[in-house]
Amino acid sequence: MSTSLSLIQTPSRLSRCLLKSASRRFTAPNYCIFANSLASSSSSSTSSLRFVRSLVPSSTRPFTSSTALMAKSDAAVVDADASMDAVQKRLMFEDECILVDENDKVVGHDSKYNCHLMEKIEKENLLHRAFSVFLFNSKYELLLQQRSATKVTFPLVWTNTCCSHPLYRESELIEENYLGVRNAAQRKLFDELGIPAEELPVDEFIPLGRILYKAPSDGKWGEHELDYLLFIVRDVNVHPNPDEVADVKFMNREQIKELLKKADAGEVKLSPWFRLVVDNFLMQWWDHVEKGTLLEAADMETIHKL
């Protein structure tokens, strides 16, 4: 093998990468390099970036202090994430979340991995945009899901219908009529619950409000989100993806109240964002669901810091 041979790869084909703000650092088994982004001549956007991966066998590379530092860092990342589920690992490194300030203005983007590290959340105050969908059927029952055991944050907790992030891509950055967040919600409801897009027209999602919250999951992972609360009333076909969802259940108001009692008694676990919505908004908004007056409840001017 020629020692000068190199391979151009796009970020989507690197399954293990850590993105840094000014330059890109990639870590993966058997290699780790630091390199500035090489943008194509036609565009400087993220989608056009290309990165160089050396194909020189590690045993033939010159050993320097930088090599030692990179090898040590690479080993630490591999070790720290050795138990992470393969599907969740791919999403953590490939998905780019939208970074915002506390007024919900876009300030950049970073990997899902970095956005959920409590160390980075605390040190760099990383805040990313998110959404939480509350889907009701024609009986006005709310669809809940139990997150899968392989989820990196808050595994096996019960939560609202779907909770995720719009990604740093054109279709999910659209601010007008909150279309970016609505597009992301439609995408993830198919990914997680198998609900076809045609059953969930994007204009049927009603944004009712925004909350800003921070919540640790364990010693390493957590959430710091500016969360859009989207309500929709539709009868849908649900086919849960086991990589994302352990269980689903439609619940009426009384069943939700019983679930809260069980959570207070430590019998079940609820996601922190779901509990915040339940305690502050859900029951009064449920009245509007039943009356067909959800638009009257909407307040997208306020960002509730909870």
Averaged confidence pLDDT in the chain: 79
DSSP structure class, residue 273: H
Active site residue 124: no
pLDDT of residue 88: 66
In the block, tokens 């630091």 appear at 34
In the block, tokens 């999951």 appear at 217
Catalytically annotated residue among 163, 172, 223, 244: 163
Closest CA to 258 of 246, 271, 270: 270
Residue 278 has pLDDT above 60, yes or no: yes
Burial of 79 (C-beta count, 10 Å sphere; 0-12/13-18/19+): exposed
pLDDT of residue 78: 41
pLDDT of residue 246: 97
In the block, tokens 């959340």 appear at 121
Active site residue 96: no
Residues 6+ apart with CB under 8 A from 203: 182
pLDDT digits (tens, 9 = 90+) for 210-238: 999 999 888 788 999 999 999 999 999 99
Residue 126 has pLDDT above 60, yes or no: yes
Amino acid type, 43: S
- The structure's pTM equals 0.73
